[in-house]
Amino acid sequence: MNWEPWTGCYKISDGCTNCYFYGPHAKRFGQNTIQKTDQFNWPVRKNAKGEYNIKGNKILPTCFATDFFLPEADEWREEAWSFIRERQDIEFLILTKRIDRFPVSLPADWGDGYGNVNLGCTVETQELADYRLPLFLSYPIKRRFIACAPLLEAIDLAPYLHGAEHVTVGGETGRDARECNYDWVLAIREQCVKANVTFWFKNTGSLFRRGGAVERVNPFKQSGLAKELGIDLLHGKRLF
């Protein structure tokens, strides 16, 4: 279950090229007009008994089919923040490629952050890691994670892991997917071991290189294969 208060998106960096939502072979290709959805106030909707339709004590992935910090959503975001503030019993998991828009997108009472917001910054290459992560670490955020997805090359996260709780890694999915090299994945895992940060290999991607060979992996088996490799370091951490 995800919360998508708005829909539509467009390319911001190379990792968006083959997006599984809006890429050239995806069902939403060309849907780059940002619009509110009928889910907009979903977290605070109540039933006839006055109870929230979405029960508490859960993780709610937010804007995973768009971007929470899109400029086109600026006029709606303040109200979306009010829903998040009201539902302190839910952990809102927000992932963005537009972390540079974070300072202009905050509610007035943000302070050092909302305790029920776990904010993730996506990086796909070293260049993007070196641009986005220093910004990410400079902002007042109580809970942070890094997502290397799709992982397009070897990335050194070591300079940035001191401020993160967790790292997720995943390959690119789709008929035009670029390779995900297992050596890159293992290197990031080792960086997480040294920094005492949890690590999750989410999926292999469609083209997975390991042991000198490249394997084409069915989209429905990519997460299973990643799990079978047994390299996750979760220490009981809940996954969305």
* pLDDT tens per residue across span 110-137: 999 999 999 999 999 999 999 999 999 9
Fill in the amino acid letter for 238: R
CA separation for the pair 71, 129 (Å, rounded): 22
Residue 56 has what pLDDT? 95
Query: What's the pLDDT score for residue 52?
Result: 97
Region 197-221: mean pLDDT is 97
Closest alpha carbon to 190 in 144, 231, 159:
231
Which pTM value belongs to this model?
A: 0.94
Mark 113-151 as b/e (b = at least 16 C-beta within 10 Å): ebebbbbbbbbbbeebbeebbeebbebebebbbbbbbbb
Under the banding of pLDDT at 50, 70 and 90, the label for residue 2 is very high
- Over range 191-217, report the average pLDDT: 97
Residue 144's alpha-carbon distances to 36, 111, 121, 186, in angstroms, are 26, 16, 8, 21
Cα–Cα nearest to 167, from 157, 159, 175: 157
Asked if 41 contacts 74 with a C-beta cutoff of 8 angstroms, the reply is no
pLDDT in tens, 46-101: 999 999 999 999 999 999 999 999 999 999 999 999 999 999 999 999 999 999 99
